[in-house]
Structure 1
């Protein structure tokens, strides 16, 4: 299918892939900054955002969609930045078409993802709903963060309960959550239930890679991200204290600065 996508800037292309639930808009924390120097492409994956779909599909269909998008845009080689599910798809795209991917920036993701999330109670869901609604009306409200947010599932997604992160949630995460289709959720759950594990293939990916993780990530643990970095032949790994799965929204300036430094140190990932 033809994916809805946003393009910014000019120069070498960087494909920005969002997580679940998510949309291309969730990647604005990266794309708005990177588009000052490069051409950024941020698609809504199949079943997410404005890339609506009817019927079921498999995770492999995402790769067909992304290859079709790159072909339509005339992009032969690209750097790929992926967050969570987007990072998994970034690795899969590199494994499938290694000549097409010049480098990988992997955020809160793993080739063998493992979580440490505790069971979710009805109270968790109740407070998450309440905190989400209040945050939608008044983004970043300190009272909401301290009273409802800290009793909701946001306490596992964020290591730092900051107004900045909650404003990102209101602007990007909540709309993306509401537009994520049940078929997209089903496709991801089926892949995880099958025991997704690509660690054994990572040694074939010789392109430079930057792997970023939040120390307190309960959805994809920092240990599983570190394990992935250890299997990639040319990878650097950073683990940030007091951050969790939404670390780009917690310490956005630090993340962007570290990405800039890595890009400057690896000019080969920006060569056509």
Structure 2
């Protein structure tokens, strides 16, 4: 679902792309990556009659200005710039994958501005080493006959066309319906804005250093914002990685959607809309 494109200024002079659509409770989305772009238009469409959905491209990504610096703290500050630009005092946050972690970090830093948090297909707060090997096994298994091509492309310097092909193959592993996976991955990569690999490497290294720390768990234990964890049962990232986050949060509910992978709103749109809509309306904890 599309709205009017807007340019959000940050205090250090960067310009971020953003848009909003719908009517009702303000919800601000945080897309996955890091280094990718907003692909949550379908989420906005599902929630259009329930919420005003604000979407944005993170710094250096998609339609936003391609400039650093890249860090979680910088991304949190940029998200706050989006909040101020749209005149929101409090907002619900909906983050997907890496964006779920970013939304959580924002809630930890600015709980006064967050009414609720929808944590979609994130990876919890334990060290990523606890689940990464399982994820890699599942990724390779889902790639199936495309594994050799994906590995070949991954080992060499790629043209832009090859970069898109490599990403589409990797994206395809994220869907439960293997017969439609490539088609759905093509849709996710259209329009194509390219991957910011510098952003990806820099922020992922920071997340690796900070995940699994006692400080992060303690901060989650102090967070009294209501949180809904949503996860597809067939996501190649193991759902048990979310147990530590669920155990740490004092106000949390959790929904697992059968028949869905990493993008549950694509494969189980009715279940996703029902779970998220009820949560935003206050019909679940």
Separation of aligned partners in 2, 1:76 and 1:84: 25
1:71-104, Cα deviation, whole Å (9 max, x unpaired): 1221111000000111101111111011000010
State the partner residue of 2:218. 200
State the alpha-carbon separation in 2 of the partners of residues 188 and 125 from structure 1. 28
SS at match of 2:135: coil
| Structure 1 partner of 2:156 | none
CA contact (8 A) 1:157 1:245 kept: yes
Match in the other structure for 1:92: 105
Match of 2:245 in 1: 228
Gaps of 5+ in 1: 138-148
Contact 1:162–1:250, Cα closer than 8 Å, also in 2: no
Could you tell me whether the CA contact under 8 Å between 2:259 and 2:268 is conserved in 1? Answer: no
1:9 and 1:39 in contact (8 A); partners too: yes
Match in the other structure for 2:268: 251
Alignment root-mean-square deviation, CA: 3.0
Tell me, yes or no, if structure 1 residue 78 matches structure 2 residue 96. Answer: no
Contact 1:84/1:108 (8 A) holds in 2: yes
Count of matched residue positions in the alignment of Structure 1 and Structure 2:
247
Q: Quick one: higher RCO (CA 8 Å, sep 6+), 1 or 2? A: 1
The corresponding residue for 2:189 is: 173
Report if aligned partners of 1:226, 1:237 keep a CA contact under 8 Å in 2: no
Shift of 1:195: 4.3
Q: Provide the rounded CA distance (Å) in 1 between the counterparts of 2:22 and 2:182.
A: 27
- Structure 2 alignment gaps of length 5 or more: 1-13, 154-160
Question: What is the rounded CA distance, in whole Å, between the counterparts of 1:34 and 1:179 in structure 2?
Answer: 27
Whether the 8 Å contact between 1:217 and 1:244 is mirrored in structure 2 is yes
Mean alpha-carbon deviation: is it higher for 208-217 or for 192-201? 192-201
1:190 aligns with 2:213: no
2:170 paired with 1:157: no
TM-score (norm 1): 0.79
